[in-house]
């Protein structure tokens, strides 16, 4: 390993398929890059960490790795996709408030105290002294039905409850226990539900079906948005990601009467598995490769402070789309979008060809099957392995037949 070798660490949890794809493809690019899978172990705070970039999949839920990442940023100048302090502290509540401040069309949202205060020290006396009784049905009428009740911080494994009237709202509240909840007006009806995945300056939009089984939520649907809609969704995604210091995040938006409403956009480190992304999985792998190699090989510096002032200085009296364009321009500058594009053209000219070939190999097929085996009952392994494999091959067919033919080696 030479002194100029760039080192990339993969900080993994239950990930199986995407690291295999990432390693195979990067190793074929012929760059002076070494890839390691980072172990979880005790660490000396003064021990040097010599990775240039860490692709981190654990900070959002595993404290040991989050503290290792923080140490790596503060003491060793390691680049990480998402600011770990921001990931740890930014509940959905904060993200809603911030984007309301910027003028994005966040639906009407209330925060309500928890229904129960069991097993919370001192809270009973506090509530007896200061809590004000409130009329939940009246709040529901003020917000407007349908209403979605969801934990203010994202809630981990707690689901979202839909209420169409006061009785259903009261029942959902009774079942919420000691969680602090949001009540948010439902954008119903809507004519489009889109999830955008942002990775650095790269954005992909997908029609999303949240009530479908996991393997069908990311739909295979093409050209269903006009260019102006695509641009607005890209600008929303980049604005949110740059504002919170997230290189890798997803944003869900609903369209009603021509207006896009962001409803769920604090999802740093979203799903990267073929079992949910299937057709869209190769795009994500290539996006991870491009952004991580750009950051490593240009020795991109981590922005440790969020610096919101630049966004707040945009004239609030500008029309909405002009303001959003201004925010997105700040975001693209923070993501070095022009330099990134130049890097990809000059240093990664063969990536499309190498990736296209690899996604048709038996190694890819085996990676898909390994992930399926980890999630599905044994009697479903063949069925779902072939389903996801066929969808990846459909991606290859569309890439081959696109107006921009892949480079040949």
> What residue spans in the chain does CATH classification 3.30.1490.20 cover?
108-185
Q: Output the tens digit of pLDDT for each of the chain's 409 residues.
A: 666 899 999 999 999 999 999 999 999 999 999 999 999 999 999 999 999 999 999 988 899 999 999 999 999 999 999 999 999 988 899 999 999 999 999 999 999 998 877 777 777 778 788 888 899 999 999 999 999 999 988 765 567 899 999 999 999 999 988 889 999 999 999 999 999 999 999 999 999 999 999 999 999 999 999 999 999 999 999 999 999 999 999 999 999 999 999 999 999 989 999 999 999 999 999 999 999 999 999 999 999 999 999 999 999 999 999 999 999 999 999 999 999 999 999 999 999 999 999 999 999 999 999 999 999 999 999 999 999 999 999 999 999 988 454 443 3
pLDDT at 99: 97
How high is the pLDDT of residue 409? 30
CA 246 from centroid of its chain's CA atoms: 8
HSE, side-chain direction, 13 A CA sphere, residue 297: 18
CATH 3.40.50.20 domain range(s) in the chain: 6-89
- In this structure, whether the domain defined by 108-185 belongs to CATH 3.30.1490.20 is answered with yes
CB of 361 closer than 8 Å to CB of 28? no
pLDDT for the residue numbered 60: 86
Q: What is the pLDDT of residue 265?
A: 94
How many residues are listed for the chain in this entry?
409
Residue 190 in contact with residue 256, Cβ under 8 Å?
yes
Q: What's the pLDDT at 132?
A: 86
The separation between CA 65 and the C-alpha centre of its own chain, rounded to angstroms, equals 19
Closest of 156, 162, 208 to residue 185, by C-alpha: 162
Q: Which long-range contacts (CB under 8 A, 24 or more apart) does 389-395 make?
A: 389/364, 389/365, 391/220, 391/278, 391/279, 392/274, 392/278, 392/279, 392/281, 392/282, 392/359, 392/364, 392/368, 393/359, 393/360, 394/220, 394/279, 395/279, 395/280, 395/281, 395/282, 395/283, 395/359
Q: Please name which of 257, 286, 258, 266 lies closest in space to residue 392, comparing C-alpha atoms.
A: 286
Q: How many CA atoms lie within 13 A of 366 on its CB side?
A: 6
User: Does CATH place domain 6-89 in 1.10.10.60?
Assistant: no
- Residue 53: predicted pLDDT: 98
Q: Alpha-carbon distance 198 to 243, whole Å?
A: 13
Q: How far is CA 382 from the centre of its chain?
A: 29
What integer pLDDT is reported at residue 155 of this predicted model? Answer: 66
pLDDT value for 125: 79
| Confidence at residue 403, expressed as pLDDT on a 0 to 100 scale | 47
Judge whether 70 and 87 are in contact, CB under 8 Å: no
Q: Write down the pLDDT at residue 159.
A: 77
pLDDT at 407: 41
Q: For Cα atoms 233, 227, 266, give the angle at the middle one, nearest 5 degrees.
A: 10
């Amino acid at each position: 390993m030479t002194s100029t070798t760039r080192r990339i660490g993969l900080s993994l949890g239950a990930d199986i398929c995407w690291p295999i794809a990432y390693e195979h493809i990067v190793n074929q690019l012929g760059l002076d890059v070494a890839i390691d899978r980072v172990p979880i172990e005790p660490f000396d705070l003064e021990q040097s960490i010599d990775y240039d970039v860490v692709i981190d999949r654990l900070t959002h839920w595993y404290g040991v790795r989050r503290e290792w990442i923080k140490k790596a940023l503060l003491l060793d100048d390691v680049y990480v996709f998402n600011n770990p302090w921001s990931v740890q502290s930014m509940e959905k509540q904060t993200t809603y408030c911030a984007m309301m401040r910027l003028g994005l069309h966040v639906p009407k949202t209330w925060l309500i105290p928890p229904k129960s205060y069991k097993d919370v020290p001192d809270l009973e006396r506090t509530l007896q002294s200061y809590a004000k009784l409130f009329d939940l049905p009246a709040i529901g009428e003020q917000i407007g039905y349908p209403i979605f009740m969801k934990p203010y911080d994202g809630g981990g494994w707690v689901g979202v409850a839909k209420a169409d009237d006061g009785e259903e709202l009261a029942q959902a509240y009774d079942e919420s226990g000691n969680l602090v909840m949001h009540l948010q007006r439902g954008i119903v009806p809507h004519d489009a539900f889109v999830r955008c995945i942002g990775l650095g300056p790269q954005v992909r939009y997908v029609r999303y079906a949240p009530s479908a089984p996991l393997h069908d939520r990311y739909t295979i649907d093409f050209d269903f948005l006009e260019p102006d809609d695509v641009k607005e969704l890209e600008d929303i995604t980049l604005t949110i990601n740059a504002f919170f210091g997230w290189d890798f995040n997803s944003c869900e938006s609903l369209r009603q009467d021509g207006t896009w409403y962001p409803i769920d956009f604090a999802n740093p480190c979203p799903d990267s598995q073929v079992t949910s992304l299937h057709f869209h999985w190769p795009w994500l792998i290539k996006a991870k490769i491009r952004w991580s190699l750009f950051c490593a090989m240009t020795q991109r510096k981590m922005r440790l402070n969020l610096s919101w002032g630049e966004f707040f200085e945009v004239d609030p009296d500008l029309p909405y789309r002009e303001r959003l364009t201004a925010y997105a321009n700040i975001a693209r500058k923070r993501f070095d979008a022009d330099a990134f594009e130049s890097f990809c053209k000059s240093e990664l000219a063969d990536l499309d060809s190498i990736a296209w070939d690899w996604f048709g190999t038996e190694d890819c097929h085996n990676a898909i099957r390994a992930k399926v085996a980890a999630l599905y009952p044994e009697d479903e392994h063949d069925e779902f392995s072939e389903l996801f494999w066929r969808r990846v091959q459909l991606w290859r067919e569309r890439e081959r037949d696109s107006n921009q033919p892949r480079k040949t080696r």
